[in-house]
Structure 1
Amino acid sequence: MKIRWFYRLLFTFLPVFVLIISAILTTFFMVLTETAEKEAEQAAGVQARQISAAVDSLLLTIDQHATYELLSNRMFHQFLDASELGNHFLNYEVATRLKDLVVLTSMHSAYLYRQHDKTVITDSGVLALDRFSDKGFVEAAEAEVSSDGWTNPRDYPDYTGATKDRVITLVKHVPAGLGNQGMLIVNVSLNKIQTLFRELAQSNIVNYSLYDRGGKGFFGTKSAPAKDKASLYTSDITGFSVGGAFLQERSFGLITRLADNWLWIVIAIVVLGVLLFVYLIRKSTRPVDAIIDRIKTYAFKKSQLLGTGKDEFQFIESALDKLVEQSQQYEREADEGLRYKKKQFFVEVMEGSFKPEQLDWKMMFSSAGLSADYQKLALIVFEIDRFSDFIAEYNTKDQYLLKFALDNVVIECAQASGLLVWPEWINSNQLAVIAQTKPEQIESSQTVIEGWCELVRKWVEQYLKFTLTIGVGECVDVIEELPLSFESAATALKYKSTLGTNRVIGYWNLDRAESKELFDQVAKIRVIAQQYCTGNEGWEEELQAVFVNLKDNLFSKSEILNIFHYFQYCLLSRITEMSEEYNEIWKKHIQPELSAVLNRFETLQELEERLMRGLRSGAEQLESLRAKRNVLHTMTEVRDFIRERLSDPNLSLQSVSEHFGMTQSTLSRLFKNEFGEKFVDYLARMRMELAKRLLQETEKSVHEIAEEIGYNHAFSFIRVFKKLEGVTPGDYRKSDSAK
């Protein structure tokens, strides 16, 4: 009994003594820790100022270059001056200088805005503000004359308005403070700033972030709470802030208060220890009374909790029900968390950021219905065709229902084919599926997967009101190679415009994708645009030949769009040089139709039908306008006169104008208004076309050909030929023979 009482007293008072000593030592340790943390914060603040200075230096350099160009570049001032409207050579020089400025300073982009006629010039050309993709920003900057300087990060759309880059923008009003002439606007890519920032902000202790004037992170990070920031330095030049947060979680407030009041804390611990000793001694000497008091106290509280309507069993039952409800809630939350982890794991595997050693991927495979002991893996992408029509026809609820049905069809057809699959929606119109073959299917994996995809495609076509185009990726042996399979599947879908929709496109269908000649199509497009604008009926046959070539060779949708966007640009360049009546037809009829076709087509066949129909309609309107104009007949005779006398060395603007009884300036102006091409350019082009035919079809020397097309000196012919065709006549004949 004595021994038991001794140990009871020993284990009652000894822990209190140890606790008091430990609390005092812990207090002193916190004081030392706070001192070290303050020194770390000071060091972090110094580095934050250095990082801010480096970013300021980069932006200040770009600002100085922009300011220097505004002050010293005469072409910029001429462009902004309203008296220089329509000076195409000046526009070209300004665009070239803007391009040099962008390359020199590694900007993202730069453009000038002329307020007088609301015109914007970029490094690629001149266009009206209403057609400029960054119109909203220009109008906002124009309204705020005092807004010169750097903006917060923003989205900068490309010329189509579809793709947006994150940039910060420098606005310079001209003249400064008034801005009644225009603005110079310079964009700097956030990727460039992020690269510099990451090089300077490397630290194993502090995580640095760059914030704009509103406290929002530059690179998608949220503003950290003030208590988590190790430092925050704001630039006087840009207003941007550099902040740092320690990588290890710290309790600033508690440690600071403890460090400032450590003496009082020690005294409080001692007093508390004394009171605790008194309490324990009293408790040890009166154990029975303490137990009785606790029972009485509990009984009193219990009676208050139960009230008059519930007994103890009802209270216990309600407590258990609440416990079960809370447990179910926790299970639901855990299930939601698992679904999120599965989706995140799927995306990481697809993108190649997955690392097997960082996650139990076998558990993820098992939860998704796959086996960890696989033989072959492949990633397949199911894409809904004509998705714009799909979302227009069905409301959000119906869309979810149809997508849910597609999920089940994919799984059930896979079971029928002996495959294990894991489907996940990666885009609103794309369902990606990891497919896994069984050991007995290892030799026929591609055939089995292709048959399964065809089964899904036919079922959807028959029972659902939309169709699918399916991209099949390569079969791989290890999970780390699944990104290669996804890349080949995504690449296959890029060619559905050429190969067609509602079909299975495998990586094996892309053998012809590397043999196409994109430059040849671009060169033909430029000639077709010229023929179309000058009323040459051969444009239709030439354009159909281009479509035949596109069908024979495998072109992706992006390549097709690039070709026909260039065609649209060539048409615009030609027609804008013609009279206002032709421009009206272009703006109201031809251009809207072309843009609509290029934005909505799915297949090359659809593009050909709609594009040819729109162009024919436009050509009829242009031809009708030519027929109504009094000068059409005369200009047609002038054009025929030139074609018949290409071999005449005396053929010139002066001789033709004398023949038709006009002044040279009048004939030149009327010719350009009707055909969108200068007289001298047309004469040179016709002679070069004849020269190319002679080089291809005859064995005549360059000197003989020069004389035959109206050049007295072969040197002049060679110089003009190289200027227009990019090669000398001899090299052109050699390249044609090689083909």
Structure 2
Amino acid sequence: MNGKLMGDNRNLYIKLLLSTILCTVLTLLVSSTIYYVNYRTINLNEVYQSDLENLTQTSREVISMTESAQSLTFQMYRNGNISKLMFYENPDIYDTTAAMRELSNYLNSMPYIASIYVYNPKAPYVYIAASSGQNGLMTKEELVDQDILEILQHFQEYKPFVPIPRTYLKDASGSKRSNIYTYLCYDAIGNDNELNSAIIVNITTDWINKDIGKYRGTEASNSFILDNKGRTLSGDPLNPSVTLTPESAITQQIMSTKNAGYFIGTVGGMKSLISYTAPDSLEWRYIRFTPYEIITRKLNAIRTTTIYIGVSILVVGLFISWLLSRRLYIPIHRIVTKMKSLESDKRNSLFTLKQDMLRKLLQGHEPLTAKWMRDKRSELGISFDFGHDYRIILLRIDRFQPFLQKHLDDLHVYKYAIMNISSEIASQAFQVETVDMGDDRTVLLINAHNVPSDGDQSMLQTLLKQIQKAVNELLKISLSITYSPQSSLPQDLVPLYRKIVEASEHRLFLGAGCLIASQDHPYPETDDYLFTVEKEKRLVDALMAGKVAEAKKIYAVIIEETRPYPISVFQATLSRLTITLSGVLHTILKNNSLDIPSSLLVSRQALAKLETIEEIEAAFFESFDEIKKRLDEKRSMKQDDLIRKINDMIDLNCGNPNLCLNWIADILDMSPIYISRVYKQNTLNAIVDVINTMRMDRAKDLLKQSGLSVAEIAEKIGYTNSSYFYRMFKKNFGVTPTDFRKAELLEPGNQS
């Protein structure tokens, strides 16, 4: 027994130490791989930049030579002696000698020129000035460089002063061909487009770039030139493996872009770095192949060294693991003994551990894996099968806050009783596990037991109603129940639980004791909801105006609009309305000098304890009604005093021409709109009408009892314009002031 335990301890220690060593080795290898890739990229870029600089310099030299050759040719065409060779069929000996002397001078002045040809198709000779090889007057048959005659016969295929890379024999006795650039300048003026004359300047390639135009087997790199059609203008004809064709993949890839760049390709069976320039003014591109092995030789050595180091660490680690495992099994034995003790304690509190584990699964704190289902279910005695068809049912205690205040000490007992009752009823048709989720929540996890796997919706609802009824009868507790759709996927457990928790909040609208199917309450995104600011403004205006009935209707509409959305939308809307209404109530009470008892204002803490819309509305509406009651009492007293003051001012200042609504408002230091509304609400008359009526009554009295003129009477009662007084009097009594006085005088009782 002890030997087996010691062996287990050693194995455990080996696993721990090997894990550490393997992590170290893998870290070293991964980091080295990353560095290797980065350094390789940097190295390739450095080689490419070096190649690009070299090739670009070659391009500049070729273009410079082209410009020199062009300038030299133009000088020759303007030279009188040389022009005789080009246009005279048989120039005399003196002209020929002078022209050849001029050609020699041009040849000697520019050492990079290998030879100069002057060609006249009508003349029997080709005039040659060369530093070596054939020199002087040569017939076309004697000319060793027969390739130039082929070029002249097809001169239309060549652009003037575009260098033609080629090789030629200097003399008939030699066999070595020299590499040159040929610059062709010709005269082909005329309708027949025939060649009239030509000057050919041959420049040796040694003055431009030793790599271009030839292959050196002892060198690592090879360089080439491509024209604008992808044709190779230089290369080694003896080494066809590194010769490009317009159809080759490398040529196609280079010609597909107008920029300089590089890529990795296979050239002559060898992996190489292919660098190339952008087209120059001659529309040539310069290309260089460098074997990839040479570039990455040092990096490969670093990679190999890193692998050796990693393997060495692994071997040493294996030896250390074996050595230390033989010596350090005692501490491991103590750990294992402690773990056995903990396992024993765990078995003694199996129910608590099972509850905690199921709670963590539902809340997403514990991953539900195949290994977990294989190990933990049997270890904790969980009968629920997460791989079989299942549902999640959430039971919530209604009116939880009052219940909690009354049964705080016995809450866990009541929750345990609810779990037992619901489990006993549900187990008639399902395999059941119950979980206490804290607060007012209890969860039932049910598997199909002796009913079809697709379940029976009506049977499930009947069973849940039985649970509600049994809990209500036995414990006097009302339950709201929310159930999820059926699923057989373990990964759906957490999302289903979250959905039924969210759907259970719909109890706000359905009331206590409701039965909710979470799939019947799909919620749109909260971004689709727009808070109705316009309704909020109308609500504030209605409260400020004392229109409580209207305010209640608007409040109910705003809350009802949140019903189709997640509970977070309702909570945010309720929070905003609470803040807004609190501000309005403070303003109303402050403006009217009313006391603000704490019971009159609705707080968010108080609302959080309410569970249904009816309870929340009742709290707000009670506050609305109480404020209206206080305002009505306050306004009734204030408005009676205000009306009395207004009537006294009208009576005392009837003859004041300034008497009007605004004048009264200024004297009272109040809003004209406010006093006009209050006056009309209480007297059913407008202030302006009362002023006009009082003035007209006094005018009648003065017309009857005084001898004042109509204009004097108008002024006495506050009218500065007698014509306006006439119109107002006639409007009110149907006759003019004069006719009224005459009618009064004609009455029998009024005659003197």
Higher helix share: 1
Higher Rg of the two aligned structures = 2
